[in-house]
Amino acid sequence: MYFLGFNWNPEGTLFKIGFIQIKYYNLLWIAAFVVGWFIMKRIFQREKKSMEQLDSLFIYTVVSIMLGARLGHVFFYDWAYYKNHLLEILLPIRESANSSLFGFINGYEFTGFTGLASHGATIAAIIGVWLYCRKWDNIGVVWLLDRLVIPSAIGASFVRIGNFFNSEINGKIVDKSFFLATRFIRDSDDMPSYKAMALTQEKTAGAAYNAIEHNPDFVEVLQSIPYRHPAQLYEGVCYLFVFVILYLLYWKTDKGNKRGFLFGLFLALLFSVRFVVEFFKKSQGGFEENLGLFSTGQWLSIPMIVLGILFMYKPLPSTRYH
């Protein structure tokens, strides 16, 4: 008897406009920034900061987070590929022999930015905040970080849900009797699109995956795809709890007055979650084969956790600061 074990086979694309694909993942990224803007608006109003400063902050954070997330994925997880495909680092395209971009650029397809890393986003966000605070000298770096982590936590939750829609960052194989066992039909390792199309003789990946799921002629192919942990959901739900904790501490207690505490708590909680969930994820690549013991994501999380604890317990005056 299975409680929640299920097949997962969303196309990931909500709709298309010409060659541009609007994906659930992209929309959830947009939602993360929009919700973050509204949360920071409330905070800035409470702290008597101007909307001009908020609008400027929005630009700095969007650019730094997106750039950092992208570069983090490139250098931490997939440099072996991108060192030979430099054009793809900052452009939403990928080399594909049978595809055509804009109808006349052969050998490439539009993919959107599907390779983004939270560690890179965190590092770049801190740099972006530092640059922003150089422009607005009445706002301190740590003061701002203590407040930005609140929308950042819920944004991280949105992004992991987007990963779930994309059937990426899937978990390790689990027995089908596990109550959350998920068969990711579009898993790029278990059933890459070229393999699905070859087995079904369908002309598009979407049609091929749908045939595997619903056509009884391919029931053996479907059964060959293993069930996995929905690690993205584990992470997304835990990040939501991190958001609730930070939100309540800021609005209901005086922890927002303790310099660096909320920022440190964010780092400690978020990357502790990441460290634990990594035990349930399949390998994402990177440098883990050289170091062993832990995954790349876990190795990158350890210094973040240590830094967070240092900020939490660093003795600083408990007053509202700038």
Point out the annotated binding site: 160
- Sequential DSSP letters for 121-144: HHHHHHHHHHHHHHH-TTS-HHHH
Tokens found for residue 144:
């701002």
Q: Using CB atoms within 10 A of its CB, is residue 261 exposed (0-12), middle (13-18) or buried (19+)?
A: buried
Measure the CA–CA gap between 273 and 264, rounded to whole angstroms.
14
Measure the CA–CA gap between 217 and 207, rounded to whole angstroms.
14
Measure the CA–CA gap between 220 and 222, rounded to whole angstroms.
5
Q: Which residues touch 209 (CB under 8 Å, ≥6 apart)? A: 9, 11, 185, 186, 191, 193, 196
Query: Measuring CA to CA, which residue among 159, 132, 155, 162 is closest to residue 144?
Result: 132
Q: Using CB atoms within 10 A of its CB, is residue 181 exposed (0-12), middle (13-18) or buried (19+)?
A: buried
